[in-house]
Amino acid sequence: MKLLLVEDNAAMQTTLQRSFERRGMQVLLCGDGTRALDRWRASLPDVVLLDLSLPGLDGLQVLAQARAEGLRTPVLILTARGTVGDRILGLNTGADDYLAKPFDLDELEARVRALARRAGGDSPAPAFGGLQVDAESGAVLRDGQPMELTQREAALLRALLARPGQAVAKERLLELVFPGDLDVQPEAVEVVAYRLRKKLSPSPVQLVTLRGLGYLLKASV
């Protein structure tokens, strides 16, 4: 499961990131409301944890813009604003759940998993040409069997499976394959794509490079 945590408090970021990663989840961080939508679009998270008090845009503004754009990712609001009025405002803006600080980490995890399960039940796992993403583990299966992929190869393939036959820009793939790594160059995606292409060769699916546009998956002729 991939979480996007939009929280400007560094100590809270660290605590939640460590807690969720110990539970086997991937956590992407953003501490600025003005950048949150870009991170949301690029990372394709399963659940967004959203603080309300953020620099730039506040959490409700971020949420309202996301819903206006059609981003349907489940959102759990984390905030010190715990009044009934605040909860109602957040839910009416498009939040799926609301947890006031301070909170219990086990309860937070349970709520996150519940949101992810409900969202997963609304749409099938990405699949194409005998390849399918396992909704529970995130592993990519070929004809029902797990493929032997590195973490970055799997991230790249999942991103392409979400849009088979459509080009995904290299810049977006960089965010998905190397989340949070600000020093990596776009050429690093080419290396991962080269290795993944070789592993896909026995299947009826090709990884195609479109110069200037990115990469896509297409069925072999």
Name the pLDDT band for 51 (thresholds 50, 70, 90).
very high
Query: Where does CATH 1.10.10.10 sit in the chain?
Result: 127-219
Helix (H/G/I), strand (E/B), else coil: 50: strand
Query: Where does CATH 3.40.50.2300 sit in the chain?
Result: 2-122
DSSP code, position 24:
T
Residue 19: predicted pLDDT: 87
Residue 135: predicted pLDDT: 65
Residue 8: predicted pLDDT: 92
Q: Return mean pLDDT, the chain.
A: 85
Does the structure show a pLDDT above 60 at 124?
no
Helix (H/G/I), strand (E/B), else coil: 214: strand
Residue 122: predicted pLDDT: 45
Bridge partners (DSSP) listed for residue 5: 29, 49
Strands 97-100, 127-128: pairing kind: unpaired
The number of beta carbons lying within 10 Å of the beta carbon of residue 200 is: 22
71 dihedral zone (left: phi>0; alpha: psi -120 to 50; beta): beta
- Give the model confidence (pLDDT) of 133-178 as tens digits: 876 667 888 888 899 999 889 889 988 888 788 888 888 888 888 8
What top-level class would CATH report for the domain 127-219?
mainly alpha
Name the pLDDT band for 193 (thresholds 50, 70, 90).
very high
What is the Cα–Cα distance from 141 to 17, expressed in whole angstroms? Answer: 28
Q: Does domain 2-122 sit in CATH 3.30.360.10?
A: no
The percentage of the chain sitting over the pLDDT mark of 90, rounded to a whole number, equals 33
Does the structure show a pLDDT above 60 at 217?
yes
Can you spell out the DSSP letters for 109-166? HHHHHHHHHHHHHHSPPPEETTEEE-TTT--EEETTEE----HHHHHHHHHHHTSTTS
Residue 148: predicted pLDDT: 93
What is the Cα–Cα distance from 99 to 217, expressed in whole angstroms? Answer: 40
